[in-house]
Chains A and B, each alone.
Chain A
Amino acid sequence: MEGHYETGRGVPLLLFGWPDEEAEEMRYTVEIPGLASLILTHDWEGEVKGLKDWPRDERPPVAWVFWSFRIMVGIGFLMVGIGLISALYYYRGKLFETRWLQLWWMAMMPSGFIALLAGWFVTEIGRQPYVAYGIIKTAEGVSPAILGPQVAWSLLAFVVMYTLVFGAGSFYILKLIGKGIPPGEESGQDDASDYYGHGLEAAPMRAAGKKPEAPHV
């Protein structure tokens, strides 16, 4: 996850880099000195074990874990950032007029979903080659009775099913957004300043009347 190959003390936190699994090194790094040691050992000079302490066949695919983790954390920072900036603009009374901020909100629509998937990539790929860490390897856990074709077609069936379900779901969400807030529920349409007053109080009431769009897994 941290992407360090060498064991050391006072290890930097890598913000970015290009893991080269052949050469066993991280290229083109952007780093914060000592921070990885602090996070992992609560000590600026703490020792962090590098990937080279494990034999090659006991390591997960480094690039996948490294990038998924950074995508997840990066989106997290974007979420915190947009929240803080929007709060600031709200207090200044400019939240509903700032175009670039609204575009940012629109771009953030799928961010939760992507961050969630990236997080799963980190845990599921990061624990390889084990299926139960340190106890049984994935290759040893394969069922002897379910053969390749069965696994392949059931995976394919799930891919098709989820594509249809998420496709339909996205379609209805976008349709709902496209419709906008029904007239009559919205107070003071012509006067944007109203949103900062009682208009906002009405919003949670509307939200409470609807079932949240929780994905059923």
Chain B
Amino acid sequence: MIAELGLAALWLAAALAALQLVAGALGLTARGAVLGTIVRPVAVVQGVLTLLSFAALMALFWQTDLSVKLVAANSHSAKPMLYKLAGAWGNHEGSMLLWVTIMGLAGSTVALVERRLPERTMLATLAGQAFVSLGFYAFLLLSSNPFERLNPAAPEGQGLNPLLQDPGLAFHPPTLYIGYVGLSVAFSFAIGALITREVGPAFARTMRPWVLGSWVFLTLGIVAGSYWAYYELGWGGWWFWDPVENASLMPWLAATALLHSVSVLAARNALRTWTMMLAVVAFSMSMVGTFLVRSGILTSVHAFAVDPERGSFILALLLINIGGALALFGLRAGTVTEGERFAMTSREGALVFNNVMLSAILGIVLLGTLYPLLAEAFGAQVSVGPPYFNPMGAVFVVPMLVVMGIGPLLRWRRDSLARVRLSVIVPLVLMLIAGIVLAMQGVAVLPLLGIALAAGLVVAAFLPLRGRKLRQVKLPLWGMVVAHFGVAVSLFGMACDSAYTTEKLVALREGDTVAVGPWQIDLVVIEPVAGPNWTALQATLSARYDGGSAVKLQPQSRSFWTPPQQTSESALETRWNGQLYAVLGERGEDGRWQLRLWWKPFVTMIWYGGILIALGGLLALIGRVLSDLRRGIARDKIAYRKLRQGR
């Protein structure tokens, strides 16, 4: 019953999306203007229906209703409740339903709250949103129905992959998804503005909160995913330049560029065409990423439910949505007149530089990710990995970060470097000193550059606050400072991990001791333990940092029975200056236990930095929304006063 209800809600939502598209399009014409009035209510109801449908799926997973195919294939009655619920989006069909749900809710929110833009642009925007949604509804309903019944019902579910039975699954995919799909709003705004040719600061201010919000979620999603892989995969790596990871990085790069260019558009009415294009590209990258992952077209993903039919379907969606949007861009962008002009040495100039560099990095990541496919077309197999991405990325990241340190100090429109020369002396000197010290230590080039840049940027990030009364600094400026500081912190973590990590692979008996960096580690005992749906062998390690007091680490080697599988659970001990990482391996023939141990100085800074970046975005978002609200209230007051005076 619940399944049928969910399916019905989904069909109804799809029908409303069609109505929204037609009414929105006709509403733009002179004769259909009256139809335009139903667009907003329809968008709201559509969002509610998608939410209902998703709630139905959650309920089915909650009850472990094994007469539903998706539940039987991905859940199990013996699983902890959190993972039962997370199972709802831990698969293709459920995650696509989550996608349309977020998209529907985003559409409702736009329809409910956005009042700043001309109504024509709003109609075009909501019609665009409906158009994109319709494709995904078709995908769900025609080829990936999450509510399909199983007759007869399965006696027991097949369980969820043990590596996915982790809090990471509950948090990471939905976060990333909100980011991906949030960008669809920016996409629709761009479509709307291209259709009605109304691009300006008001448009940028309307779009900005959506970009900021999506970007915050994307950042958190990537940070969570990276940390999850770091502790779950058990080899201490946190980024592999795998196609699947790149698929999540590319929308983030585009959104970061968009975030900066939309600020130029809002503040200075410049970069109109460029911002339009980025808005289209950002969501396109979300869809391209989804396509690359689902179609199984790249080697990395082929083991995950390869389905050429799904791949073809998403490709058709890409072709219609992205192809259509880019064609519209080609036709209309020329008629959106270019905005205000500015000098190269100015705030705008620095932001343009940032945009160009981010786009170049995006280009390199895309190139490296797709190149194996291109090589295959010529009958050869090549691999593109860290030895390519790291130095190539650095070529563009390094100049970009240097400008990131200086740009925020520059004035809008035109400025001279001489004016800010004194301010940047401190970070520059810090950078030089760090560079020289590291060079004497014999640190490799990339980590050296990373740490030196981070040292300079940590200070440079706060320079925009100089000479201001801190209590009067507006939230968006705080946001920028915090986010740029986060970049420095994260960069520091990455570079330290690569420069100073100590690895020890050892075979120990109970009672043996080993040294890893500054740590002394004793293997105390190995014993069996039991969990809710697994049993494990657990090692108890006693670790002392630099002769200090002992801390306990308990890495496990787990055996799950639904489905039967072995995983190793790493154990982490976090200090302010790094992390000790322990993994229990197999027992050798001589009775000694295999242990993998790493001391990773400052590795946690990678994710703390990421969280700071997201926090910066959040501060800016709150600041923008608050001032928008204030402006809206002031406007209403004036209108009200006028009304009373009129009486």
Tell me, yes or no, whether A binds B: no
